[in-house]
Amino acid sequence: MFEQPIPTLRRDGEVVHVLDQTLLPFRTETVALRTLAEAAHAIRSMQVRGAPLIGATAAFGVALALADEGADDATLAHALATLGATRPTAVNLHWALERMRLALQPLQPAARVRAAWAEAEAIRADDTATCDAIGRHGVRLIREIAARRPGPVRLMTHCNAGWLATCGAGTALAPVYAAQAEGIAVEVFVSETRPRNQGLLTAWELRAAGVPHILIADNAAGLLLMRHEVDLVITGADRIAANGDTANKVGTYLKALAARVAEVPFHIAAPHSTLDFASADGAAIPIEDRGADEVLHVRGEAADGATAELALAPAGTRAANPAFDLTPAALITGIVTERGIARPGELARLYPEQAR
């Protein structure tokens, strides 16, 4: 089983320590969450980010709320509503909160705190296992390419869907880590992913793991695909509708378009907690709009090692900041799940109990 180099989330009694991803890749620090407000802030501010990880964090946030404020119906309802309002697109968050509600609502308040910690731990363990399974299934795609041609298998990914985004090996990067473990040579083009530059987190992960990678500007992806310098594109997802339409970090759709024109396979990797059969298609998926400041500023490390935030445009410049976009199922070659690789329209066959 994949061991996270640093736990993205670690419980210590009634405190939950999370890796503060707003400080990466320059500083590695954790934040201690003790209250509902601290858990909600961690998700909203993206100290904790990544669809599966924000689901698990929200689950632990419910446990923190009940331990801190009591476990009556009103406190439980307030905790679920507060955490549910933090970010709209990643369905994992809402899946985890619904699972906590179903587990806790029927209980007497006196039994809820212990049960909340247990359910949150179960959600975390579920994600760890599903990441490993996604790696086992997804590595087949890489193995097949390696068998066809000499040299490293050249992948492209967008944003960060590695271990940082989950409680385990990651989703899009889980097959990469599995390929590395099998001794298959790979090289990953890592798209920087403006405006929050989560691609820098992917580069940080891959560098630490010794996986060869090349950081690219988002807009360079099309040329690399057109030049057939990429064998496979694989990304994560925040919500997959019943027909396979997929919401993922903004910029994913453009890569899927370019991959289709270049006839390069485009895969999504995601666990069951990212599937949303209640949304018939992409039109039903809420797309998060984040603040303009994320577009108008960039954070980095100055020559003296201090982290700095710089303005990119004059004050008063207007900016739009949709955090996700939608990739139509027609542009997706396959979806790598913990139950296997499915064509976008076949998810109900793979998950009949969820599709009902």
Toward ligand LNRAV4D5, which CB reaches closer, 75 or 244? 244
Marked catalytic residue, from 218, 238, 245, 276:
238
What is the number of residues in the chain?
Answer: 356
Which residues in the 239-298 window bind ligand LNRAV4D5 by CB under 6 A? 248-249
Comparing CB distances to ligand LNRAV4D5, the nearer of 114 and 351 is 351
In angstroms, give the least distance from the CB of 151 to ligand LNRAV4D5: 27
* Beta carbons of 67 and 61 less than 8 angstroms apart: no
Q: How many helices (H) and strands (E) does the chain have?
A: 12, 16
User: Which C-beta is closer to ligand LNRAV4D5: that of 239 or that of 260?
Assistant: 239
Instruction: Enumerate the H helices of the chain as residue ranges.
Output: 36-44, 51-69, 73-84, 91-104, 109-148, 174-182, 199-209, 221-226, 252-261, 293-296, 347-350, 352-355
* Residue closest to ligand LNRAV4D5 (Cβ): 236
Cα 331 from chain centroid (whole Å) = 20
x/- contact string, 32-61, with ligand LNRAV4D5 (CB under 6 A)?
-----------------xxxx---------
- Indicate left, alpha or beta for 124 from its phi (over 0: left) and psi (-120 to 50: alpha): alpha
Residue 238 known to be catalytic: yes
Shortest Cβ 237–ligand LNRAV4D5 spacing (Å): 6
Structure tokens at 266: 């485009």
Q: Decide: helix, strand or coil at residue 244.
A: coil
CB nearer to ligand LNRAV4D5: pick between 50 and 135: 50
DSSP 98-151: HHHHHHHTTS-HHHHHHHHHHHHHHHHHHHHHHHHHHHHHHHHHHHHHHHHSSS
> Shortest approach of ligand LNRAV4D5 to residue 77 CB, angstroms?
25
Q: How far apart are alpha carbons 25 and 18 in whole angstroms?
A: 15
Part of the chain binding ligand LNRAV4D5 (CB under 6 A), chosen from 117-125, 212-220, 236-244, 334-342:
236-244
* By the rule CB under 6 A, 166 interacts with ligand LNRAV4D5: yes
State in angstroms the smallest separation of the CB of 3 from ligand LNRAV4D5. Answer: 18
Distance of closest approach, residue 98 Cβ to ligand LNRAV4D5, in angstroms: 19
Q: Is 50 annotated as a binding residue?
A: yes
- Give burial (CB, 10 Å; 0-12/13-18/19+) of 278: exposed
How far, in Å, CA of 245 to CA of 249, rounded? 13
Instruction: Please classify residue 151 by burial: count the beta carbons closer than 10 Å to its beta carbon, then call 0-12 exposed, 13-18 middle and 19+ buried.
Output: exposed
- 249 assigned to a ligand binding site: yes
Q: Which is nearer to ligand LNRAV4D5, 24 or 100 (CB)?
A: 24
C-alpha–C-alpha distance, residues 332 and 298, integer Å: 31
Q: Cβ(188)–Cβ(215) under 8 Å? A: no
- Candidates 27-35, 132-140, 147-155, 159-167 — which segment interacts with ligand LNRAV4D5 by CB under 6 A? 159-167
**Does 198 sit near ligand LNRAV4D5 (CB under 6 A)?**
yes
HSE, side-chain direction, 13 A CA sphere, residue 161 = 33
* 159 touches ligand LNRAV4D5 by CB under 6 A: yes
Asked if 165 touches ligand LNRAV4D5 (CB under 6 A), the answer is yes
Closer CB to ligand LNRAV4D5, 16 or 336, in the complex: 336
Residues in contact with ligand LNRAV4D5 by CB under 6 A are 49-52, 159, 161, 165-166, 171, 198, 235-238, 248-249, 323
Show binding-site residues for substrate: 49-51, 87, 198, 248-249
Show binding-site residues: 49-51, 87, 198, 248-249
Which residues carry out catalysis?
A: 238
